[in-house]
Amino acid sequence: MDDRPTELTREDIDSFVLSLMDKEIQTHSCCKCSKEYIHDSYGHHIGECDECWFSQFPKEQVQEFYRSLFE
């Protein structure tokens, strides 16, 4: 197994952007609050938007999770 970090090239990024542009963004309605959310939310597997999904966790735990994304 290779432990080196993945190196993204300009071609990789251009290819990714083009593939995103070719797809239509799918929205869904939250089963709890009825707000529309995009497909890749954390709670999508149970039909919830991120706001409803994270409401089940303590506020401090949610803040810690979001902070970890930026560290």
Does a structural domain hold residue 9?
Answer: no
Digit-coded pLDDT (tens) for 16-31? 888 878 777 788 899 9
- The alpha carbon of residue 34 and the mean position of all alpha carbons in its chain are separated, in whole angstroms, by 19
Write out the two tokens for 27: 């929205």
The pair phi, psi for residue 51, each rounded to 5°, is -60, -45
SS3 21: helix
CB 38 within 8 A of CB 49: no
Does a structural domain hold residue 50?
Answer: yes
Digit-coded pLDDT (tens) for 35-65? 998 877 888 889 999 999 999 999 999 999 8
The domain tally of the chain equals 1
Does a structural domain hold residue 15?
Answer: no
Does a structural domain hold residue 63?
Answer: yes
CB 32 within 8 A of CB 48: yes
Range of the domain at 39: 27-70
Does a structural domain hold residue 32?
Answer: yes
Q: Confirm whether pTM is higher than 0.75.
A: no
Distance between CA atoms of residues 39 and 11, nearest Å: 26
